[in-house]
Chain A
Amino acid sequence: MRKVFLVVERDVRLFFQYKAMVIMRAIWFVSQIAFFGLIASRMVVIADYFRYYVGGLATMTLYSAAVFIGFDIYEEAEHGVFEYLLSLPVTRRELVLGRSIGGGLRAFIYVGALICISLYVIGVANPLNFILALFSLFLFAFGVSGMSITLAVAIKSSDRFDILMGVLDALMVRLSTAMYPLNIVKEANPFYGWIANFNPLTYASDLFRWGAGVEAVLTFENPLLPLLGIVLFFAFFTFVGIVLYDKRIEGGGWQ
């Protein structure tokens, strides 16, 4: 496990060395709350939409920060760092597990500060609920990070990965409850609603809102359902992802 932690440490450190990116994203986040959230909530008839939106924004930001690990992999491939990592006395499983955890953890640490801003805006009704919600966000971040690594290794082209992640981001965010409640999505198109029902971002957003006490328009009455969805998402992309990654990269299959 020591080597897994070292891989995690490396990824966390590396993320915060991209200072400009970290600052810009934070500015984007605050702008979304201060401008878009505040102004858009005046147009929307949903009760308490501002707090609803801030909760969704935190999970959207967590998603986009956790996805960043896949771009790191391409950056590393371009600079030959991937070859270096593959030559180290670290097993492939330790490497991918460390990267998956590292990708998720750094996103969580980063978004942690932004979550604090969200909490200031939203407030917390039930601390115990919120701890459970945080735990689920933690798993969600690992799952997204594992998904990003799996896709990065499977696609092997930074351009295609870039485009795919853009499309995926659009679909994940738009077809989820991050920005609007499920009943509104269903009204627009039942098929969209069906997809949003199985979207891990829906689960993460709803659990965060449930934890923070924004219960006006929750998708699921029982919070265990989205929690189960997130656990499955995390398990699939962390553990199945490890196997795929292992097969892909061992011996240079990634080239």
Chain B
Amino acid sequence: MPPIIRMENLTKKFGNFIAVDHLNLEVEEGEILGLLGPNGAGKTTTILMIATVIRPTEGTAYVGGYDVRKNPDKVRELLGVAFQEPKMLWVSTPWDIVNWHAKVCGLPTEERKRRVKEIMEALDMWNFRHRSVHALSGGMRKRVEIAKVLIQRPKIAIVDEPTSQIDIVGKHKIWRMLRELCNQGTTIILATNELYEADVLSDRVAIMHRGKLLVCDTPKKLKDSIVGGDVVEIQFETDPSPKMVEALNQFKEVVKIMKTKSSTLRLYLNKVEEIVPKIMGMLMKEGASVSSIHMSEPSLDDVFAHYTGLTLEEAQKEGG
């Protein structure tokens, strides 16, 4: 099946500043693609180009087979966008905003009324539906923004930092609803700078930095791509013998072993979930007394640091 979105050398320059630099990326139908990167990475500019709000300086993108440059009207018929900053006038009410959005997107009357109520209730907005936007909290405004896409159920949903300013319970609720939306057949592009959000929600993650695509793959493959990225810390009851250390070194997945305390070994290795049972088997066979074992996988932050030399937080500061 051809990709539902294909970006070919997609570039946007603002004067001398290159916001998006020759981006080549494909989005498969029915997946959630996370666009992960710090502020200023070019995620929002990419989204605006796909949504035909701004025109690429160079290159193009094909959305559902339509060129964003040549057929912007056709492209917009496939899209629903939840922007990073809630896009609404302060005199409007949540009801007016989402109801009008649903009308413009062509939802039949009965279905519109049902979905508007259903989504507003699910997002705990129903009781606030007739308040003007200026009386709502930042989190509530953000819910109004995401509600538009959830009600619309477009073929392709673009959600830019959908849970920023939203409390943890609300975040989980929105993640679940986005996953349901995807299960109903919507392809989702999720732009975020939240590592956990990208990790739990995305089928694939595209990491961007300074307008460029660094890497794109499933979260698991990205983490596995860091050689020695997994860490296992084994605490023995007595000092491990050199023979034991040597035996651990024999596993091809083990990249490095460090003795952190007198009775503790820290192993840097790959594919932790596959290798740990083998290590445990070997240790039991050798009669080693293990008092505790602690495993940790690399995070997407480690992946980001691996490719940029910066943590996401450092890059965030750098990007302003």
Contacts and interface: CB of A to CB of B under 8 A. Distances in A.
A255 B54 contact: yes
Interface string A83-97: 110111111000000
Q: How large is the interface on B (under 10, 10 to 19, 20 to 34, 35 or more residues)?
A: 20 to 34
B91 A3 contact: no
B54 A87 contact: no
A40 B85 CA distance: 51
B258 interface: no
A81 B88 contact: yes
A79 B100 CA distance: 18
B59 interface: no
A14 B92 contact: yes
Interface stretch (B101-109, B237-245, B293-301): B101-109
Contact of A87 (B51, B88, B103, B132): B51
B87 A79 contact: yes
A160 interface: no
B52 A87 contact: yes
Nearest to B145: A84
Contact of A252 (B48, B81, B85, B103): B48
Contacts of B55: 250-253
Contacts of A3: 104
B165 to A, nearest CB: 15
Interface stretch (B70-78, B183-191, B218-226, B270-278): B70-78
A76 B100 contact: no
A6 B88 CA distance: 17
A88 B87 contact: no
Given A83-B87, A89-B105, A91-B73, A251 B92 contact: no
Contacts, number: 73
Contacts of A250: 55, 72
Contact of A14 (B83, B91, B104): B91
B90 interface: yes
A253 B52 CA distance: 11
A89 B77 contact: yes
A87 B72 contact: no
Interface in B91-148: 91-92, 96, 100-101, 103-106, 132
B79 A87 contact: yes
A35 interface: no
A70 to B, nearest CB: 15
Contact of A80 (B51, B83, B132): B83
Interface in A200-255: 250-253, 255
A145 to B, nearest CB: 18
A9 B100 contact: yes
A6 B112 CA distance: 15
Contacts of B104: 3, 6, 88-90
A83 B86 CA distance: 11
B91 A88 contact: no
A252 B92 contact: no
A18 interface: yes
Given A89-B77, A252-B48, A17 B92 contact: yes
Contacts of B100: 6, 9-10, 13
A80 B100 CA distance: 17
Given A9-B100, A14-B89, A86 B77 contact: no
A121 to B, nearest CB: 32
Q: Which of B69, B73, B79 has the most CB of A within 10 A?
A: B73
B227 interface: no
A162 interface: no
B235 to A, nearest CB: 53
B53 interface: yes
Nearest to A17: B91
A86 B79 CA distance: 12
Given A6-B103, A89-B77, A251 B52 contact: yes
B89 A79 contact: yes
Nearest to A72: B89
Nearest to A2: B106
Interface string A1-45: 001001001100110011000000000000000000000000000
B53 A76 contact: no
B87 A252 contact: no
A80 B105 contact: no
B53 A75 contact: no
A252 B54 contact: yes
Given A83-B48, A89-B104, 18 more contacts: A10-B100, A13-B96, A13-B100, A17-B92, A17-B96, A17-B132, A75-B89, A76-B89, A79-B88, A80-B85, A81-B87, A83-B83, A86-B52, A87-B76, A88-B76, A250-B55, A251-B69, A253-B55
Interface of B: 48, 51-55, 69, 72-73, 76-77, 79, 81, 83, 85, 87-92, 96, 100-101, 103-106, 132
Please name the 7 residue pairs, one residue from A and one from B, whose CB atoms are nearest each other, closest first: A251-B55, A252-B54, A84-B87, A17-B91, A80-B87, A87-B51, A89-B77
